[in-house]
Amino acid sequence: MESFLLNFILPVSIIFFTAIYIVGYFAIFTSWKDKARFEAASCSMSLVHGAITSSLAIVDILKVPWKLDAPNNPLENSLMDVSVAYFLVDLFHYLIFVPEDYKFIFHHLATSVYMLTCKYFSGHGALSVMLLMAVGEITTPLQSVWTIARLGRDQSTLAKRVYESVSLPFTLLFTCTRGIIGPWITWKLCEFYLFDVRRHMIPMWLSSLWMSMVIIGMTGSMLWLWSLWAGLRRFNARKRGLPAKAANHRD
């Protein structure tokens, strides 16, 4: 019975995240302008997804042995289904409303391919997904709040205050996870999947595909981290009334 119900996690999760998007668009952000309204609805999904997956991924990491080619367990398979559902719904959002944002479209496609091949092709290696999910999604709830506040700061005094108060904590948290822990995890995964090929059960072509996507994703995170700090410096300079150099950051 349990295994039968697990087969419905992906479609039920797609309905769940679609419902969050609809509620965000039609019930919460009704007074916002169209583009900000769509993006805020997307961030609502992201907030819920990040809170669920990061917490449960950490639980899984603490419970299972450190074996990067171990068979996937039911929790890991379920979390991958939940994440794939979120990425598919959000990908639909980007393709319709923000088709020019190639970085996010590529990210969602690559992440979905990683998890789908891990669950449905290899059946092993989900611990690597959990590690990446934990470090990648633990910042998402705060990032979603920060993004929603940034989108609404010109329309709401509360949103402006929230944006100003969470900018520094979010940047610091992102720095710790993506700037320090993330590169270390990337190295450990590459060390195992690329350099210890005789010791694991993942086909070389698949482990190479996984690690190439991880490296590209981590590089993108590091570049965005640089932009975050540049934007924060510019924002603080404006608050002090000082001239600030232009930065490639939507602050």
DSSP string, 69-129: TPBPPHHHHHHHHHHHHHHHHHHHHHHHH-TT-HHHHHHHHHHHHHHHHIIIII-B-HHHH
Compute the distance between CA of residue 135 and CA of residue 197 in angstroms, rounded to an integer. Answer: 25
pLDDT of residue 4: 57
Please name the residues in contact with 145: beta carbons below 8 A apart, sequence gap of 6 or more: 47, 162, 166
Domains of the chain: total: 1
Residue 245 lies in a domain: no
pLDDT of residue 14: 97
pLDDT of residue 243: 56
Residue 9 lies in a domain: yes
The token pair at 195 is 């350099």
Residue 150 lies in a domain: yes
Residue 251 lies in a domain: no
Residue 249 lies in a domain: no
What is the domain extent for residue 70? 2-239
pLDDT of residue 176: 96
pLDDT of residue 93: 96
pLDDT tens across 205-219, in order? 999 999 999 999 999
If you write DSSP's letter for every residue of 223-234 in order, what string do you get?
A: HHHHHHHHHHHH
Residue 201 near residue 124, CB atoms below 8 Å:
yes
Secondary structure of 180-191 in HEC code, one letter for each residue: HHHHHHHHHHHH
pLDDT tens across 124-178, in order? 999 999 999 999 999 999 999 999 999 988 878 888 899 999 999 999 999 999 9
Tokens 């610091």 correspond to 172
Predicted model pTM: 0.90
DSSP state of 197: G
How does pLDDT run along the chain (251 residues), one tens digit per residue?
A: 556 567 799 999 999 999 999 999 999 999 888 789 999 999 999 999 999 999 999 999 999 998 999 999 999 999 999 999 999 999 999 999 999 999 999 999 999 999 999 999 999 999 999 999 999 999 999 999 999 999 988 878 888 899 999 999 999 999 999 999 999 999 999 999 998 766 678 899 999 999 999 999 999 999 999 999 998 888 777 767 655 444 334 44
Please name the residues in contact with 237: beta carbons below 8 A apart, sequence gap of 6 or more: 243, 244
DSSP state of 156: -
CA-closest candidate to residue 51, choices 133, 119, 148, 115: 133
Residue 7 lies in a domain: yes
Residue 94 lies in a domain: yes
pLDDT of residue 248: 38
Residue 126 near residue 150, CB atoms below 8 Å:
no
